[in-house]
Structure 1
Amino acid sequence: MLKKMINKLRMLIAVLDFLVKNSAKLTFVPALAGFVTSLQETMAQISAMQEAQLVTSKGHTLTKDALKQKAISSILDIIKRANAYAVVANDLMLKEAISITNSQLEVMPQGNLVSACRLVIDSCSSKIADMAAYGLTAQMLTNAGTDLANYEVALPGAKNIIAARKTATSQLDTLFYDAESTLKKIDAMMEIVSNTDPMFYQNYRNLRVIDDLKGKAKASGSQGITGTVASIDTGLNLAGVKVSITGTSYDAITDADGNYSLSLGETGTFSLKAQLSGYSDYTEDGIEVTAGEFTDLDFDMEQAQ
């Protein structure tokens, strides 16, 4: 979810909570209760959309991780048996080819992991008859190959999360627009009590304030690009990502929550590049930045293959 949406959501939750808790005071306009109910319904839809996004991302990650662990387990069993044979037979080439530990496999980028496992299977295939006495069979190699293939099939699914998130963002934009439209009607009704109950009115107005980076930008005369960086593979936000504007000296590093903010001393159309060790570089072109505005740009990065 974009930071601007998060800020709006915080405001909406606070305002709705205030209105519900003070429902007894809202009788000064009979129609007001209906708009509060409408706001509650929209908020429920926003919550459901957030939950759907979370389940989709986590569901994919859990499936992929389970397949990864199964493939690693199969390969490690093969390595143990093949290593015993290599030591006894003094087969140095085989020993080198299968010299991989569990900890190494766990942290390997996806592409390297697949290649390393393939090398183990291929290296053992040519000597499978000799390793029968060590409990290594052709069926074990076949099963390991199947486990690895299943893991490979799951990898492209991560890329589809980007498209799904963009679609969800569009749907959330519509829901937030509906919520804001309802709030503007509530704002108009709340003006009725601005003089008769100024404290109640002011408390409401205070909650309607959004921590809006764009508004701050206009006040300071600056502009730029801001957003959050997440991992496609885990769905978690990424800290330490270097985000830079191509061809310029403008850059920033994402904080512990994956947030970044690039203040630019100029306007125009820019290209952005993001880099983090262990991840493929991310680039995006055609980013429009106008005077006094911060362009929102959230994006996902994929582990290096």
Structure 2
Amino acid sequence: MNLFQKAKLKMYQVVNDFLVENSEAVNLLPNLPAYHTQLGENIVKLQKAAANESNNWTGLSDYKQETKDALVVAALEVSSRLSSYARQNNRPELLKNTYYTESKLRYISDSDLSSSAEKLYDIAEANLEELATFGITAETQTAYKAKIDAFNKAIPMRRDSITAQVRQTKQTEQLFRDTDGVLKQIDNLIEIVRNSNANLYVGYMDARKVIEVGTESLAVNGKVFDAVSLEAISGVEIELMLLPLNGHAPVQKKSAEKGGFRIKSLQSGMYQVKAGKLGYTEKLLDIVVNSGETTDLTIALTKN
């Protein structure tokens, strides 16, 4: 729920309280009690939607990050031991395939992290008998594989959560439209007493004001950097495509000198982001954009 929607929900609550406090007068107006009841029910639904949106997204994001952090630490440990084994046995090709820096593992995409971790696991399995003295055993491999599996399980959970969030956002927007329709009916009825009960009319109109908190933020605020050196990359072609892919025109930007880019006024929804530059492997990822909120996006690109 964005800042403007939160401000509108607050206004709905103030209007509802005003109608309760002046129920003797307003209930004399035709059909107003029914509209007042609908307003109260919609407020409860919106409050629940706001709570679910915050709790569900935060919980799954935290879980996914925890499994990622655990896998990065475990993969670095396996990489270190395999690299030591390769150096001791003069196996440069093995060293090339097993040496990873922390920044390399931490900032690559989820799919790349998973495949890199799996590759280290497979190499260790193929050389297991010779790796005991380097601290890699069947037991450590079992524990390492469990971390890989936990992370792989968390990735689709988060993707499903993004889809659910988009669906919830659309339902919430429809609920706001429905509630605005109810208020318009109440507005029309309150207009009846504009002259006969000026105090009631003025009090209602004051309650109907939406007080916005803060200002509307950028839709997307991002930065592109090198996955290994962590240096900013300028001139990266950024393309955002609204999902599902059904003919929408893409939004395109280029990263600036310090790797940053900003995109305003996007339609709410899920977007596929494509980032590419000559000399780097193209990156694809999905994000959710909510109107009135900033979606922070960091993109790590790997050189070819």
TM category (shorter chain) comes to: 0.5 to 0.7
How far apart are residue 56 of structure 1 and its match? 2.5
SS of 1:129 mapped into structure 2: helix
Deviates more, 1:134-143 or 1:28-37: 28-37
1:54 maps to which residue? 54
How far apart are residue 46 of structure 1 and its match? 0.8
Structure 1 gap segments, 5+ residues each? 212-226, 230-236, 263-271, 283-295
CA gap of 1:8–1:198, structure 2 versus 1, over 3 A, is: farther
2:233 maps to which residue? none
The one-character-per-residue Cα deviations of 1:267-289 (angstroms, maximum 9, x if unpaired) are: xxxxx98545685267xxxxxxx
1:10 maps to which residue? 7
2:138 maps to which residue? 138
How far apart are residue 129 of structure 1 and its match? 2.1
CA gap of 1:186–1:45, structure 2 versus 1, over 3 A, is: same
Q: Is the 8 A contact 2:241 2:250 kept in 1?
A: yes
2:189 maps to which residue? 189
Alignment of 1:105-124 (within 5 A): 105-124=105-124
Q: Is the 8 A contact 1:242 1:251 kept in 2?
A: yes
Cα distance in 1, alignment partners of residues 249 and 41 from structure 2: 46
The one-character-per-residue Cα deviations of 1:253-278 (angstroms, maximum 9, x if unpaired) are: 9x99975259xxxxxxxxx9854568
The one-character-per-residue Cα deviations of 1:20-72 (angstroms, maximum 9, x if unpaired) are: 26854554223567754542332121110122233222232222222222222
2:26 maps to which residue? 29
The one-character-per-residue Cα deviations of 1:85-114 (angstroms, maximum 9, x if unpaired) are: 333333323322221022221111112112
Aligned equivalent of 1:20, options 4, 17, 20: 17
Q: Is the 8 A contact 1:273 1:281 kept in 2?
A: yes
CA gap of 1:183–1:152, structure 2 versus 1, over 3 A, is: same
Cα distance in 2, alignment partners of residues 247 and 189 from structure 1: 42
Structure 2 gap segments, 5+ residues each? 212-216, 224-237, 255-259, 277-281
Instruction: Give the root-mean-square deviation of aligned CA atoms.
Output: 4.5
Cα distance in 2, alignment partners of residues 22 and 151 from structure 1: 51
The one-character-per-residue Cα deviations of 1:106-137 (angstroms, maximum 9, x if unpaired) are: 11111211222122222223322222122221
1:260 maps to which residue? 265
Deviates more, 1:119-128 or 1:164-173: 164-173
Q: Is the 8 A contact 1:110 1:304 kept in 2?
A: no
Task: Kindly provide the amino acid, as one letter, of the partner of residue 25 in structure 2.
Answer: F
- With structure 1 as the length reference, what TM-score do the two structures score? 0.63
1:289 maps to which residue? none
Q: Is the 8 A contact 1:111 1:304 kept in 2?
A: no
Task: Kindly provide the amino acid, as one letter, of the partner of residue 142 in structure 2.
Answer: T
SS of 2:111 mapped into structure 1: helix
Cα distance in 1, alignment partners of residues 149 and 98 from structure 2: 19
Question: Is 1:157 equivalent to 2:176 in the alignment?
Answer: no
Aligned residues: 256
Cα distance in 2, alignment partners of residues 52 and 303 from structure 1: 28
Cα distance in 2, alignment partners of residues 135 and 12 from structure 1: 58
CA gap of 1:167–1:83, structure 2 versus 1, over 3 A, is: closer
SS of 2:130 mapped into structure 1: coil
- With structure 2 as the length reference, what TM-score do the two structures score? 0.63
